[in-house]
Amino acid sequence: MDEEMMNMTEAWLRNHRLLYTGATRSPFILSIHDATINFVSFKTWLAQDYLFVRAFVPFVASILIKACKESDDDGDMEIILGGMAALEDEINWFKREATNWGISLSEVVPQQANINYCRFLESLMSPEVEYTVAITAFWATEAVYQESFAHCLGEGSKTPPELKETCARWGNEGFGLYCQSLQRIADRCLRTASEEELKKAEVLFLSVLEHEVEFWNMSMAA
């Protein structure tokens, strides 16, 4: 497709394919897909991601506030609110899974990659960060999980049965549609963004991908 006809996020996905693939086909995800995963790594990921999701809630709340103040489309609120509501269920799911895997969540200490990612999210919560920029980063964060875990359920995957529920959490069709809605919001905002905003949003999109790579690597290193 002609680059001028393309949505901005599609153009970025094309131009930064290597990094995007690095984030969505990490060694961690590939090891789930081919059933070579070390369950110690999985437990590390689970514990660290629980902490991440707790930090993710205020980040999404900050986007909801920006949507109310800055969005030119009423529909954005419902989509973001739906995502926030799902996070309550997600936190409860992490608690149940942690019990099943014998993890005491109150004793989990955040690792450096997690701290760095959460700090990054916090920096995006500032009112000075535009809605366009923040929603783009939000979409990228969710899209990486969706594409990663959907791969573990795709054709030819040998995902261990005990990890299928985890993969289905983010790899299911509903979550895919939700990510598409976020992408549509981001593209709509990016269409009317200034050059400066566009540049900022692209840089943050790349930062999200880098943080995701680091997060997977942190889990794998355990």
| Footprint of ligand NSP (CB under 6 A) | 49, 52-53, 56, 141-142, 145, 212, 215
Positive or negative, the CA dihedral 217, 144, 86, 82 is positive
Asked whether the beta carbons of 148 and 135 are under 8 A apart, the reply is no
Please name the residue that has the structure tokens 């059933």.
35
Q: Which is nearer to ligand NSP, 12 or 145 (CB)?
A: 145
Minimum Å gap between C-beta 139 and ligand NSP is 11
Minimum Å gap between C-beta 114 and ligand NSP is 8
Q: Which is nearer to ligand NSP, 172 or 198 (CB)?
A: 172
Asked whether the beta carbons of 171 and 152 are under 8 A apart, the reply is yes
First CA to last CA distance, the chain:
42
Q: Which of 142, 147, 212, 214 is catalytic?
A: 212
Q: Which two tokens stand for residue 49?
A: 């991601």
Q: Which is nearer to ligand NSP, 6 or 16 (CB)?
A: 16
Q: Which is nearer to ligand NSP, 163 or 198 (CB)?
A: 163
Minimum Å gap between C-beta 36 and ligand NSP is 21
CA angle, 160 then 161 then 164, to 5°: 95
Q: Which is nearer to ligand NSP, 60 or 133 (CB)?
A: 60
Asked whether the beta carbons of 137 and 204 are under 8 A apart, the reply is yes
Nearest CA among 93, 54, 61, 118 for reference residue 175: 93
Minimum Å gap between C-beta 156 and ligand NSP is 24
Q: Which residue number places its CB atom closest to ligand NSP?
A: 145
Q: What 8-state DSSP symbol labels residue 157? A: -
Please state at what angle helix 39-70 crosses helix 112-124, rounded to 10 degrees.
10
Minimum Å gap between C-beta 220 and ligand NSP is 13
Residue 212 bears catalytic tag: yes
- Positions annotated as catalytic residues are 212
